[in-house]
Amino acid sequence: MHLEALQALCLSFPAVTEDIKWEHDLCFSVGGKMFCVASLEPPLTFSLKVTDAEFEELIALPCIMPAPYLARYKWVLFENPSALPQAKVEHLIRQSYELIKGKLPKKELKAAGLL
């Protein structure tokens, strides 16, 4: 997966915004909450939220590690986007979006046009 493909996928979800944080990270958010963070500097790395059950399974794989600063919230860092098949990576990105969206209060969902 390339940065452009990751960006296109993330922006295809409803009410997603993107911005640059920390000078070199492209952040994708829903309702003001991040669900995917990608490095703008090569090579492409990105972080996303996963379920509690998947967290241990994923960090046991090569090239996937607990995300710095966010591991306690069950975020993983893909050091190599090819660590898993593309369909699985796309599923995990969509799932991260849904996990974050699912935690938003109704007020935020309504403001984002998701209700």
Q: Assign 3-class secondary structure to the chain.
A: CCHHHHHHHHHCCCCEEEEEECCCEEEEEECCEEEEEEECCCCCCEEEECCHHHHHHHHCCCCEEECCCCHHHCEEEECCHHHCCHHHHHHHHHHHHHHHHHCCCHHHHHHCCCC
pLDDT (0 to 100) of residue 102: 94
Tell how strand 75-78 and strand 64-66 pair up: antiparallel
In a domain, 112, yes or no: no
pTM: 0.93
Q: What pLDDT, on the 0 to 100 scale, is given for residue 111?
A: 85
Tokens of 1: 């997966």
In a domain, residue 83? The reply is: yes
Structural domain boundaries, residue 68: 3-106
Q: Region 105-111: what's the mean pLDDT?
A: 88
115: pLDDT confidence band, cut at 50, 70 and 90? confident
**Does 20 map to a domain?**
yes
The predicted structure's pLDDT at residue 82: 86
Per-residue pLDDT tens over the stretch 60-98? 999 999 999 899 999 999 999 888 999 999 999 999 999
- Per the structure, the count of domains in the chain is 1
Is residue 115, in this structure, part of any structural domain at all?
no
pLDDT digits (tens, 9 = 90+) for 32-62: 999 999 999 989 999 999 999 999 999 999 9
